[in-house]
Amino acid sequence: MSRSSRRLGWVFAGLLSLAPALAWADAEHPAHVPSTEEGVDLQSYVPGASRLEGRIMAPCCWNQTIDIHGSEPSYELRREIRRRLKAGESADAIEASFVQRYGAKILAVPDSSPLGGVATMLALAFGGVGIAGYFMLKRWSRAGKPSGPPKSTEPAPKRDALDDRLDRELSEIRDQA
């Protein structure tokens, strides 16, 4: 058996060993099942629904937001959000009613969280670093370019007897070769 076919066999065996883990991970998070209970389709577009669903945590496990969580309580909240938005209720009022019902932990990023300020500061810092980097690169590129013909302020070095002797010996060696 050649070395490359052995390697291929090991790679294939490694991939097969991952199959149970992938099956377990898939079983833990069931596939999204669209539901049309109560006349609300979770696949249809409702203005403001996706933003609100991304801000509300799933009350069954508090691990994911309801827009990506695949549990029945998440689907119920999504249907409620869509139904209330279609009825004309504002997203802020819906969010406030969820906070009243479940507490502040229902929000993925609570209003009192410092994450908004941190994100703003990081954006400003990255913008400042980008601007400073632009000007530094511009200055470095100018510094690398010669501004005109080379200016020689030093006179040419003087030759002495040793320079002449070295030139003679080098020419003799060149002639012999």
Place of tokens 């058996």: 1
What is the crossing angle of helices 91-102 and 72-86, to 10°?
140
pLDDT at 168: 92
What residue spans define the domains of the chain? 1-30, 35-106, 112-137
pLDDT score of 155 more than 80: no
Mean pLDDT of 77-81: 88
When mean pLDDT is compared across 11-15, 76-80, 114-118, 120-124, the lowest value belongs to: 11-15
On whether the pTM is more than 0.75, the answer is no
Phi, psi of 60, deg, nearest 5: -80, -35
CATH of domain 35-106: 1.10.8
* Confidence at residue 151, expressed as pLDDT on a 0 to 100 scale: 67
Across 82-99, average pLDDT: 88
Percent of the chain with pLDDT over 70: 73
Ranges 8-12, 31-35, 76-80, 155-159, most confident: 76-80
Residues 72, 64: contact at Cβ < 8 Å? no
Chain centroid to Cα 32, Å, comes to: 25
DSSP string of 124-136?
HHHHHHHHHHHHH
